[in-house]
Amino acid sequence: MNNMSPEVALHRISPELRPLLCNVVRNGRVGLDSTNCLRVTDLKTGCTSLTPGPCCDRFKLHIPYAGETLKWDIIFNARYPELPPDFIFGEDAEFLPEPSELPHLVHWDAGNPECLLQLVKELIQQYHHYQCQRLRESSRLLFEYDSLLEDPNYGHNMEIYAGRKNSWTGEFSARFLLKLPVDFSNIPVYLLKDTALDPGEDVALLSVSFEDAEATQVFPKLYLSPSIEHALGGSSALHIPAFPSGGCLIDYVPQVCQLLTNKVQYVIQGYHKRREYIAAFLSHFGMGVVEYDAEGFTKLTLLLMWKDFCFLVHVDLPLYFPRDQPTLTFQSVYHFTNSGQLYSQVQKSYPYSPRWDGNEMAKRAKNHFPLSSPITKTLLKEVC
Amino acid sequence: MAASISGYTFSSVCYHSANSNSDHEGFLLGDVRQEETVSISDTQISSAELVQVVEIHNHDPCAQLFSFYDYAGKVNEENLNTILKDRRKNVIGWYRFRRNTQQQMSFREQIIHKQLTQLLGVPDLVFLLFSFISTANSSTHALEYVLFRPNRSRYNQRITLTIPNLGNTSQQEYKVSSVPNTSLNYAKVIKEHGAEFFDKDGVMKDIRTIFQVYSALQDKVQAVCGEVEQSERVKEKIQEDVNKLKQQIALRKRKTAEEERKIREAQNADSHSSPEENTEPSESSLLSRITFHTPSAPERPSTSPNPPSYTDLLSQDDSLISSSSPPTSAALLPRPQAVGSPGHPTPGPLGMGLGMGLGLDRQAAGQEDDDDDEDDDDDEDEDSSEYENLVSEGAHLPMVSASVLAQGRPAALSPDGDARGSQTT
């Protein structure tokens, strides 16, 4: 029942309340981590058990916030759908927002389907203020917060969750979730296409957990939306530096930001470089080109002839080209190995420099292929 | 803090709530009193415990939701007064009923509670939360209720709510609540039929009757006490007369004995020519003296109403010793002593010194014990040692008393200081 899809949940809701909930479930993206939308579970009714359904009018709303999930109970009355709802804020028993700060509650309009979603957003804003207030228990963390707030890049895209990690020991802990202002718009489209799900908005979130009030145990973590992660070469490719002891967020966050930006730039550059490379090869080898990757420019296959001996050359361009050297695979067109594959030989080391442009690389390659003919000759010797 | 709600109020609230097709709310009327319990124990002088008791007598349901507050949760005092009217001063809390929700105060309830606390002027306003939980297939329904006092600290908010007399009243006491009875019908009926049970002072008639019986019994007891006192006094007087007479008899006997002794001495002085036969006659005279002495001497301590203490007896014996020449006679006087003690008056060999006599007594006593034990062992060797001791003691007693009796009966019969009594203690 907890993993109910939104559509099933809507079916059980009292008809008068359905539009409100519809809006929340379909359009409800609150907070920084908007890849996870709001979830509704535990549908119950406030009517007598003899009332014929559907009459559910109270449920639990799951809201992602600062790496946590808030579970708030929302209570309507199906018999009086025009009345505004009541809330139980789960474990945050001390969170009591000022009603005057919630205009959508004060001027509740049951006829407006967006009313509930707007009210929830206002509540989350109040919750954010409440959490920031709680930071006052630790002057160190308050300093971190204030310093970040001053910076316009980060100040407005911040979620904070503060509280007692362990209610017995009373250790104070806090988590900062920051949206990094990195521009992903120039990443080539193809890199972003390979994900099965709707990638949603491209976002990079940095989560920094302070396990104690003196900031001696700090654990940063970078969250990327799936498409970005794939574009940058998977989760293993991106390592952020550890939080320096005694350092502070206002220094660390821009560092991470810069690192990410550099990576993105590199990827974009790589794409263009590969394109240039392939273009150069096309112009130099012209008729010898069998096929090439016209979207990502990652592969190129040439059919060459040397003294009546034809062979294929596969060029594989890595993601971080030109930093990483392309792999050349020489393949015979005449001979099979025992396993039924075409005889091939991989060559990774050959004269190469990342500073050459595409043209230069093509010229050098052209010169190198005859030089590699001893290899071809070896091929011939071995197979014949 | 303790709280209680009368059974009928509770069931009335449940009835209203269960029959509503949405959330339901209302006010709780009652009163709060302070109870001080002073307990006295051996360790402390006293300890006083102050408990605040909240008693819910009645409830006032609201006809609809949002009847006294608006969407923002702001309480409208006018509406509040319209609902409560003159019952406002009796309000001690409010309640809310909601189905299938957590047992926790909600956002709006907290806001309303704060305002009600201020408006009604009740610092410890309570909040009773009913929640009705039904399982998915409607097979089980549970009505849960929790009483909060939200104005206290976060960790001290829940109070136990008791419903008096909800249980087995045949085993527990039936508690009478202090709910004031304002029913006119009840007052009328009691007035009509009360005369059969109550007299003019408002006391139940049965109580008076019982009290009268009690008084009569007390009078009779007092009378009997007087009679007993009188008869005791008569008895005492007679006892005194008897003692006097006994003393006179003893005195007379002593006088006659003295006279006879003088006569005999005079006779002995005459027949002084044969000295070899002296020892025998002296022995025989000793013996006769013994037979004479022993019955008379012990009678002294036994006939007085208050038996003399042991020291008195000793002093008497000492005086006896000083008056009569043979020192051994003192050792042979029966004394009220415990069995087995060195000075036990068993018939030892005559003519021996005091110490020897005592030593022999001891040994004799020991021998007796051994004999007893041996006899008992032969007869009842399976009994526990305790039994043996008891039996041996018991067997001992008649033996001892018999020996004492041989010496002089009165020792065993002296009022409280008799050998038997001292042995049993």
Percent of chain A with pLDDT over 70: 86
A382 Cβ contact list (under 8 Å, min separation 6): none
pTM more than 0.80: no
Q: How far is B22 from chain A (nearest CA, A)?
A: 5
Q: How far is A14 from chain B (nearest CA, A)?
A: 13
* Residue A212: φ, ψ to 5°: -145, 165
Specify the pLDDT at position B391: 44
Higher-scoring residue by pLDDT: A24, A187: A24
Rg (CA), chain A: 30
Specify the pLDDT at position A7: 64
Residue pLDDT, tens place only, A245-265: 878 888 888 888 888 888 888
Question: Which residues of chain A make contact with B111, given a CB cutoff of 8 A?
Answer: 96, 99
Burial of B381 (C-beta count, 10 Å sphere; 0-12/13-18/19+): exposed
Number of Cα atoms under 13 Å in the Cβ half of residue B104: 20
Of the residues A2, A51, A73, A74, the best mutation for testing chain B's interface (the one with the most B CB atoms within 10 Å of its CB) is A73
CA distance linking residue A226 with residue A315, whole number of Å: 28
Higher-scoring residue by pLDDT: A378, A145: A145
Q: How far is B185 from chain A (nearest CA, A)?
A: 37
Least confident of A11-25, A85-99, A304-318: A304-318
B22 vs A46: CB contact, 8 Å cut-off? Answer: yes
Q: Mean pLDDT across the stretch A365-374?
A: 65
Higher-scoring residue by pLDDT: A373, A116: A116
Helix or strand run (H / E) with residue B355: helix B354-379
Q: What is the mean pLDDT of each run of 10 residues along chain B (425 residues)?
A: 88 91 93 85 77 89 92 93 90 94 92 94 91 85 90 79 79 70 82 83 85 94 95 96 96 95 90 54 46 45 50 51 45 48 46 42 43 44 45 44 44 43 42
Question: Which residues of chain A make contact with B72, given a CB cutoff of 8 A?
Answer: 99-100, 102, 105-106
Least confident of A207-221, A270-284, B83-97, B205-219: A207-221
CB-based contact B58:B26 (threshold 8 Å): no
State yes or no: ipTM above 0.90: no
Question: What would the two tokens of residue A280 be?
Answer: 């150069």
Tell me the three state secondary structure of residue B283: helix
Higher-scoring residue by pLDDT: A113, B182: A113
Question: Which residues of chain B make contact with A56, given a CB cutoff of 8 A?
Answer: none
Question: Which residues of chain B make contact with A13, given a CB cutoff of 8 A?
Answer: none
CA distance linking residue B302 with residue B295, whole number of Å: 12
Q: Mean pLDDT across the stretch A267-282?
A: 85
pLDDT at A297 over 80: yes
Specify the pLDDT at position A194: 59
Cβ-Cβ contacts under 8 Å between A and B: the total is 74
Specify the pLDDT at position A196: 59
Q: What is the DSSP string of B21-59?
A: SS-EEEEEEEEEEEEEEEE--SSSS-EEEEEEEEEEEEE
Report yes or no: B111 at the A interface, CB cutoff 8 Å.
Answer: yes
Report yes or no: B174 at the A interface, CB cutoff 8 Å.
Answer: no
Specify the pLDDT at position B401: 43
CA distance linking residue B178 with residue B128, whole number of Å: 21
Which range, A135-144, A374-383, B144-153, has the best average confidence (pLDDT)? B144-153
Q: What is the DSSP string of B215-231?
A: HHHHHHHHHHHHHHHHH
Higher-scoring residue by pLDDT: A197, A185: A185
Helix or strand run (H / E) with residue A222: strand A218-224
Of A44, A80, A84, the CB nearest to B22: A80
Specify the pLDDT at position B368: 43
Tell me the three state secondary structure of residue A9: helix
Residue A153 pLDDT grade (very low, low, confident, very high; cuts 50, 70, 90): confident
Specify the pLDDT at position A375: 53
